[in-house]
Structures are given as structure tokens and as C-alpha cells.
Amino acid sequence: MIEFPSRRIDLTRRLAWSALVSCAAALFACSSKPPSSTLLGDGQVFRSADAGLDGSLGGAGGSGGSGFDLGEGGSSGSSGAQCTPRTCVDANAHCGSVSDGCGGVLTCGTCTAGSVCTQGTHECVAPSDVCVAASLECGLLLDACGVGVPCGACPNGDVCSGRTGQCGACEPVTCGERSCGSAPDGCNGTLDCGACPDGQACDPLSHVCGACVPTSCAAANAECGSRSDGCGGVLECGACTGGLTCRAGQCVAPPPPIECQNQNATCGAIQSSCTGERVECGGCLAGESCVDNRCRACYPRSCQELGAACGSIGDGCGGTLNCGTCPDPATCGGAGTANVCGICVPHACDVSCGEQSNGCGGILECGTCSGSDTCYNGACCTPATTCAAVNASAQCGTVPDGCGGTLDCGGCGSGLTCAGAGTANVCEVCQPRTCQTLGLQCGPASDGCGAILDCGVCPTQGDVCNSGSCCAPQSCADLGRSCGAAPGGNACGGALDCGPCGTGEVCLASGSCCAPRTCTCDDSGPDGCGGQLDCPICPPH
């Protein structure tokens, strides 16, 4: 089987929690680059670079990607030296995904309901503690798995700054590079950027004057979204279907969640290392198969090669092999090894309550809980009975009861909505967000109160709107690739497929085409393109 090597993990130093707290007073002075932000739900999002927090393990290589570490471990590299993987204990990580220092990924446990896994330190803490440590009084801060932690809303009249995470007066934007038409000023007002000279038309999306050059969706190669008709009007080029999203006028697969990057997964489904919930990481290109959550080009393997003597098993390329049955009294997997014939020995309960399999097709009754306790994950658990016991300020919505269930905290009165101003489980007057308060440069967005905002289009030709920010997409030539899907896409949230290789060639993980050598007898070994040859033995002379 030819297996493409996974991307190497780019590692950076770990910030200790104590250093984080001491840095909080000068939060954004601690970062060497301007803070980045993106829309998550309807609040301002601060990434690790914004808050002076180290990020969790990410994919390396490719534009726009960043990788993070909790220690000094590294892979063995090209020197050939043996690498000893570290453990979660070595990394002092209690939740989330971290590097094992040898190119692998550790998942270090999940947090209980009501707590979040911090970036960098990988500790389970109360959501409010994360915001306090980062000195944020508003917006959202991403946890170690890319989920937003709400840090509160601003009082009436104030807006949340995308650079500092502090509340302040709204500052209207100016026309800037816009030379015509009307546009939102970001503070619930409207800009009037004037009219165009005679003979020119105002582009309704970029608000720039230019000669009238009619076009169509087909001529512009746009299969979705809105774009200028070239003469002052707007073309509606349709919507995407099948789970695809519109990027730069093309229907493409949405970028994978941050947690997929954390666990170095490019396809299939994984469990969140912060919450244990299912996370979908997408599919593979034609001709590839998803193996261990990585897209790989491969050759099917036989039952004999896989060491399977019975039952069904995957061939490593998306197919299924039937490896036969076992003679009585043996069963397939009976001795505990999958796809191997053996005699099953039933085991006793290793939990304190509920039902459990005995390992041989039977069901064990492992006890019941007393009083109001319930059985949760094999242990007796005392659920909370009131919302106040879980969250003293809860007024509405639902909260977890600590034992796998939820509590209904009720609804809100007239004119109020639950979390209307951004505080979970609190009845508040809904405060509409603006493009300015959300830190958005372009595209549509929810105002948090049921209306849709139009934050415009990117003024620079060729730029695309990526999660509310204008971005210059990269091409295969920019990335130095000649084949295959670029791991980081086009650096603006879109997929980038650099095409197939020639006949007889394979595409390496680097994006280069390679012609593997073929077998001659007694010549097993590397094929020169990352695969291994299993060549026949030469016949005797």
C-alpha cells in the first residue's frame, strides 16, 4: 500500500497558565501581530493570538495554518534518531489534543459540562475564568477545540472592539476606497459616497466607479452568490447544495473544524477532545480512501496480509473483505482479538450499575442506584434538581444536570429573549450587532436578533470574503504544488485541487508528481515515491 505521509506538526513554545495571567493586563502588547477575528455565531471571536494564549495542536504547513505545542518534544526528524513519545502527564495536559512530540497526537480527556478546555494550558476551567485571564470583557474567545466561549456583551450604546475585547463607543467607518453609492457606516448609519462621473457606473457591491462592461454569471464563471453585472446592477448566481458553501463564486466544501486540524484528521468523523461530541471532518478526493481519518491513495490488501482468519474487515481502501467463519466451538474474535478464531470466556461486571456485555453475546446486570441517584456511564450519579444548583444566575433555557440529563429553566417575559445580549441562560433585551461590532469587513451575518446584516464585498479585485474578512486566495503556483488537494486549501477557507498526475505517476504529500519504480525479481524495497515494493523471488537458474 502506498501511504502518503501526514503533514509534520509545526510546534511553538507553551505559555504556562501563570504567565498567561500575568500577561493579561497587557494582553495585546504580548502579541507580536495584530489580532485576528472571525464570526462564530453572532459574537466577536478572539483567537489565541488575540488573547496571548498558545493554541492547541494544529496542522502545519500551508498558508494560514499554525501549530502549537505544550512542551519541548519534537519528532526524530531526518537524523534517524529514535523518538520517545511523551504522555498527557508529561505535557501537563488534562483535556484537548496535544502533540506527542514524535509526530503523533494525544487526546487527554474531556471536560465536564459547564467547564471549557483552555488553549495552551489544556486545563478544564469555568468559562468566566478564561475571559478574566485574557482580560476580555466582551466577544467570544475560542477554546482548545475552536468552540467560542462568550465573554459578555457591551452596555447600550457601546460596541465590542475587535482588537482589544473591550467595550467602547462605536466609531463609524468612512467611505475610504469607496467612490460612489450608499453603504452602512457600521454604527446603524449610512454612508453617502457620491455619484459617478457621466459615462461611468457605480458598482453596487464594491462602490467603485468604472466603465459599463456588461457580464453574466456564466461569463464570470460564477456558480453561486451575488456579483456585479458590470453596469450598476447585481447578478444573483444561485445557491449551493449538497452541503457545499459559496466561496468566491464557487461551490466548495466548507473548511474542516479546528478540532479536525488539532487531531490531524482530514476526513471521516472524530470525537471532540474537549467535549467528546462527534465532529465531522469531510470526505476525500476521487481515488482516495479515508483510513484512520486521513485521505490516502492505496492498494487493497488481502485477509492474509491483514492477519484476519475470519469475519469481515476493511481492505484499507474503502472495500470490505469476507475472511470466512470459524469451526465450533470457536467464534470469530472469541478470544478478544478481532477477525481471529478463538473460544470466548465471559467476563464479570467492571462497572457499578446498569447493563454491560459479558463479551460473549450475553448481558450482565451490574446493579442499580439508590434513592434519586441515576446510573451515568456505569456509575451512580446524583443529578442536580434546580437550575440554581448548576448556575446561580440561570433564568431561562436549559442547563445540564451533571448526570447526562438537562434541566428546563423556563422562558422569558415579553420583550426579553434568553441570552439576548450574549449572556447564557439570562433573560435580556436583544442588542442587535452591527458589522462594526462584529469586526466584519464583508459578507452577510446575523445581527443576533433575527435580522441579516450586509457587510459588503471586498474592495480589492480578486479578494474573497472568508468568514467576514477579506482574503487574497492562493493558487497552486503560489504554493508550489502541481497535483492533489492542498492541505490548507487556498488560505481563504476554500478548497484547492491542483489536479491529477500523469499516467503511472502518484501525487506526493508535498504536491509533487512522482513516478514509482516497478518490480524486478528479488528487488523488494522502497519504490522511490513513499511506497514499498513487494517483489517476487527470482526463480532458480
pLDDT of residue 209: 92
Q: pLDDT-derived band of residue 373, with 50, 70 and 90 as boundaries?
A: very high
DSSP 263: T
Contact criterion met (CB below 8 Å) for 461 and 203: no
Contact criterion met (CB below 8 Å) for 440 and 447: no
Lowest-confidence segment of 11-20, 139-148, 186-195, 480-489 by average pLDDT: 11-20
Taking the C-alpha atoms of residue 143 and residue 272, their distance in angstroms, rounded to an integer, is 12
Residue type, 69: D
Taking the C-alpha atoms of residue 329 and residue 84, their distance in angstroms, rounded to an integer, is 43
Taking the C-alpha atoms of residue 507 and residue 531, their distance in angstroms, rounded to an integer, is 12
**514-533: per-residue pLDDT in tens?**
888 877 766 677 777 877 77
Q: Where are the beta strands (DSSP E) in 33-110?
A: 39-40, 43-46, 97-99, 105-107
Taking the C-alpha atoms of residue 126 and residue 118, their distance in angstroms, rounded to an integer, is 10
Q: pLDDT-derived band of residue 540, with 50, 70 and 90 as boundaries?
A: low
Residue type, 16: A
Task: Name, of 21-35, 230-244, 287-301, 508-522, the range with top average pLDDT.
Answer: 230-244
Q: Say which residues have a Cβ less than 8 Å from residue 55's Cβ, sequence separation at least 6.
A: 47, 48, 49, 66, 67, 68, 119, 120, 144
- State mean pLDDT over 337-358: 91
Taking the C-alpha atoms of residue 29 and residue 196, their distance in angstroms, rounded to an integer, is 43
Tell me the pTM.
0.40
What nine digits make up the cell of 46?
478572539
Q: pLDDT-derived band of residue 348, with 50, 70 and 90 as boundaries?
A: very high
| Count of CB atoms situated within 10 Å of the CB of 140 | 27
Residue 425, SS3?
Answer: coil
- State mean pLDDT over 433-441: 87
Contact criterion met (CB below 8 Å) for 54 and 68: yes
Lowest-confidence segment of 69-78, 116-125, 404-413, 452-461 by average pLDDT: 69-78
Lowest-confidence segment of 379-388, 462-471, 510-519 by average pLDDT: 510-519
On the 0-12 / 13-18 / 19+ scale of CB atoms within 10 A, 192 is exposed
More confident of the two residues 294 and 377: 377
DSSP 78: G
Closest CA to 104 of 120, 79, 80, 87: 87
Q: Parse the chain into domains and list their residue ranges.
A: 17-173+259-283, 299-347, 460-541
Closest CA to 438 of 424, 425, 456: 456
Taking the C-alpha atoms of residue 109 and residue 487, their distance in angstroms, rounded to an integer, is 27
Taking the C-alpha atoms of residue 85 and residue 102, their distance in angstroms, rounded to an integer, is 6
On the 0-12 / 13-18 / 19+ scale of CB atoms within 10 A, 215 is middle
Closest CA to 437 of 253, 198, 221, 172: 172
DSSP 237: -
**148-203: per-residue pLDDT in tens?**
888 888 888 788 876 788 888 888 888 887 889 888 887 878 889 999 999 899 99
pLDDT of residue 220: 87
Closest CA to 287 of 453, 497, 75: 497
pLDDT of residue 55: 34
Task: Name, of 291-305, 321-335, 510-524, the range with top average pLDDT.
Answer: 321-335
Taking the C-alpha atoms of residue 428 and residue 397, their distance in angstroms, rounded to an integer, is 12
Residue type, 322: N
pLDDT of residue 539: 63
Closest CA to 96 of 85, 113, 109: 109
Taking the C-alpha atoms of residue 146 and residue 66, their distance in angstroms, rounded to an integer, is 13
Q: pLDDT-derived band of residue 20, with 50, 70 and 90 as boundaries?
A: very low
